[in-house]
Amino acid sequence: VTCASAGVCAHSVPITGLTAGNTYFFSVRSTDSAGNTTTDTNNSSYYSFVTTIRTAPPVISGISEPVVSSDAAVLVWQTDEPSSSQVTWGTASGQLTRTTTLDTVGTIYHVVSLSSATNDTGGAPQTLTASTPYYFKVFSVDAAGNTGSSTEQTFSTVGSGQVTIVSGGTPTVSYAGGTGTGTAVSHDTPPTITSTSVGNVSAFNADVQVTTDNPVMAFVNYGLTSSYSATEGDSNFSTSRTITLKNLQEGTTYHYRVKVIDQYGNVTTGDDHTFTTTFASDALTNLTTLQNAAAVQGRLEQLIQSALPSLAPPFITAPVVSSTTENSATVTWTTNIKTYGSLRYATDAEYAASNSGYTTEVADGQTTSATHTVTLTGLTPNTLYHIQARAYVFPQVVGSSPDTVFMTKAAPINASIVAIKNDGFTVAWKTDEPTSSIVEYQNLKTGENNLVTDATKNTYHSMDIQNLPSGTPYSVTVSGVNASGNKLDAASVLHVTTSVDVTPPVISNFKVDNALVPGRTGFIQTVVGWTTDKLANSTVYYEEGAGPASTTKPLANKVESLDTYTTSHIIILPNLKAGTVYRIEAVSVDQSGNTKTFGPTSIITPNQTQSVLDIIVKNFEDTFKFLGAGQAGP
């Protein structure tokens, strides 16, 4: 909280753990030093924000070909964020006609093999031809769907029986049948993983040891499930190495598997294994058998030093409430050392009436732990609860968290669609107590979301959603907020499709007005207006002359407004000739594509120096030629 002056304070609260590209609704609450609380729910409509989606693609770097043989190649690169791996390739520049199978495991280390042991997206082996240039691009897609791609790269396969291995930036050419260590194998024999083990497991790191029968590059896929989510690796060729997995979570079980690639591009993937990281507190030295007085003294000093943090109340994080239902909730908290834990709780009414504030206390178990979880059951729906976490090593020194409140969920709303029209629908529902009305609906064709709210609190709710396109599917979710600020959610999402409109709009009140164009003698600006009984767009066709309109083609000219749907239509025809007959036709098309036409009809634009009678006589003379020279006078 930052206060610029008396009575004016700025508040900020970080919110984490959100999902990219989602809409979130929120309210704010402040409590002063006297305990007075004010909550702002934006008139029960709630405030909202949309989390952003990362738009920058992964940055690709370090593209290389550490192994190239006569019929295979290994391509590697790095990205600045975990992303997938795929390569397009071919034998001519600009004609990359083949694509490797997509590797969806998110990693910053990428390895793709082109060989007879791997297939492209069409299922064909990716065997290369000796002494041939190849061209390729690499692609990586991050979790937000952003695609990073490289410029076109090139390499050439070597002669038959040769293998080029780049180590430390220096290429080395070896020949099949030459001398060296390891078991002699053919180009097509994949390497064997002879052993895999995990060691040095701590709270945040673990070492994976890998041995193989021949020199390989090795990579470890790992994550919380066997789908994996990250990769660590070593692109150097060796038969034995240790790969360290970093930034792990303490007390967590991880899945991992080893993937190796030999000097010929052959790939072997190991089985899924698991290991569990320790807790940071487990690093405290355990009691051991002591052999002499000096060791006893040193050990006692260690025990005293390790016990000192417990002589003060343990530090407790604020309780976090999750998995809240109508009658249950799960509460978790952590402590800086292993402790016994318990949770006190009471309803808001009980908390206010009780001297101690809390009426019930539940232990989280019979053993000490740094992570504590209590599941509360038998709670009352739609009720505000107070909770306090407690922790201790010695019962005389108990740590307590600040009071925290949460609300159990109300009984879910059962809504239904009670009316469907071609331009909307009506959704209705009942609640056990007065609440506001909130309807969120999504156009399933376009993905557009809209929110309609009514802050008036009722037990019967009916909301008309209007001005929608016909024949369009929607998903509909209803909710409401009661007097306590608790949000009631729908039991399920509704689906509705607006009916199809086949009735064209009705055109009426057709009107034409003219005005002289300032500064342009002999030109008129004509305003054509009409109304329709439903939303529709506007087009006016026009053509000079009094003859009948063609039945095979529209009038020669048009002015249109196709993107604006309205019931009051105005179209301006600029720069028509003064004192001239025009045929005009008005057309409106509604949102369902139904068309209505008015006309064609004839109009005569006025002349600044002629009367209407003069205009009529002049146009008859031009049209029928019944007045000759000198016959117009008496």
Check whether residue 169 and residue 133 sit in a common domain. yes
3-state helix, strand and coil shares in percent for the chain, rounded to the nearest 5: 5, 55, 40
In a domain, 186, yes or no: no
pLDDT at 633: 42
Q: Are residue 9 and residue 116 in the same domain, yes or no?
A: no
Cα(562)–Cα(536) distance, integer angstroms: 9
Specify whether 464 is located in the same domain as 382.
no
b (16+ CB within 10 A) / e for 184-211 = ebebebbbebeebebeebebeebebebb
Residue 409 has what pLDDT? Answer: 84
Is the domain of 200 the same as that of 255?
A: yes
All residue ranges of the chain with pLDDT < 50 are 167-171, 173-186, 281, 283-294, 296-297, 299-310, 609-613, 615-616, 619, 623-624, 626-634
557's CB contacts (< 8 A; 6+ apart) are: 541, 542, 543
CATH number of the domain residue 580 falls in: 2.60.40.2140
The domain boundary, picked from 140, 175, 210, lies at 175
User: Is 550 inside a domain boundary?
Assistant: yes
Tokens of 611: 């009367």
What pLDDT is attached to residue 632? 41
Whether residue 620 sits in one domain with residue 513: yes
Of 72, 97, 258, residue with least CA distance to 87: 97
**Of the candidates 122, 147, 175, which is a domain's last residue?**
175
Q: Both 65 and 167 in a single domain? A: yes
The DSSP element (H or E) to which 352 belongs, if any, is: helix 348-353
Predicted confidence at residue 5, as pLDDT, reads 55
Q: Residue 562's pLDDT is what?
A: 93
Identify whether 484 is part of a domain: yes
Same domain, residue pair 401 and 470: no
Give residue 554's pLDDT: 80
CATH code assigned at 113? 2.60.40.10
Does one domain contain both 35 and 74?
no
Are 214 and 266 contained in the same domain? yes
- Rounded-to-integer distance, Cα 444 and Cα 432, Å: 31
Report pLDDT for 2: 58
| Domain identity same for 16 and 90 | no
Query: Range of 104's domain?
Result: 60-175
Q: Is residue 334 part of a domain?
A: yes
- Give a yes or no: residue 295 inside a domain: no
- Does some domain include residue 630? no
On whether residue 632 sits in a domain, the answer given is no
Q: Is 298 within the bounds of a domain? A: no
State whether 567 and 512 are in the same domain.
yes
pTM of the model: 0.35
Asked if residue 420 and residue 403 are part of one domain, the reply reads: no
Strand partners, 567: none
Find the Cα–Cα–Cα–Cα dihedral 454, 458, 462, 466, rounded to 10°. -10
Q: Which of these three, 474, 497, 520, is where a domain ends?
A: 497
Q: How far apart are CA 420 and CA 466, in angstroms?
A: 10
Q: Give the chain's domain count.
A: 6
